[in-house]
Amino acid sequence: MAKRLQVILKDPEYREIQRVARLRHMSIAEWVRQALDLARRREPLGSIGKKLETIQTAARHDYPVGDIDVMLAEIEAGYGTGARS
C-alpha cells in the first residue's frame, strides 16, 4: 500500500530540487523517492553492538585460509576466464 508524504520546503530549496530533477529528466516526486531510497540504504541495519559482537565471535575462530598473494592471483586469473562458481 502506498502512503503520501508531505514535506514543507522553503522556496530556494524547492527550486534547487526542481532544477536538479529537471536536469535528470524526472519529476520532483521521482527525484525525492530516489533520494529517500539512497538515504535509507545508507542507514546502518541493526545495532552497532550486535555487529561488534558478531565480529568478535568470528575472530575467536581459527579459519583455514590460503596465502593472500596466491588467492589474489587466482582471483585476477578468474576475471578473464568467464568462469562462474
Q: Where are the beta strands (DSSP E) in the chain?
A: none
Residue 42 lies in a domain: no
Tell me the pLDDT tens digit for each residue of 32-83.
999 999 999 888 788 889 989 999 998 898 888 889 999 999 999 988 776 6
Residue 59 lies in a domain: yes
- Angstrom CA distances, 18 to 5, 21, 31, 35, 47, stand at 17, 5, 9, 13, 36
Tell me the pLDDT tens digit for each residue of 3-33.
999 999 999 999 999 999 999 999 999 999 9
Q: What is the pLDDT of residue 68?
A: 92
Residue 36 lies in a domain: no
Domain count, the chain: 1
Residue 69 lies in a domain: yes
* Residue-by-residue DSSP string for 15-44: HHHHHHHHHTT--HHHHHHHHHHHHHHHSP
Residue 52 lies in a domain: yes
Domain extent, residue 61, equals 48-79
Residue 55 lies in a domain: yes
CA angle at 69 for the pair 63 and 72, rounded to the nearest 5°: 85
Judged by phi (left if over 0) then psi (alpha if -120 to 50, else beta), residue 10 lies in beta
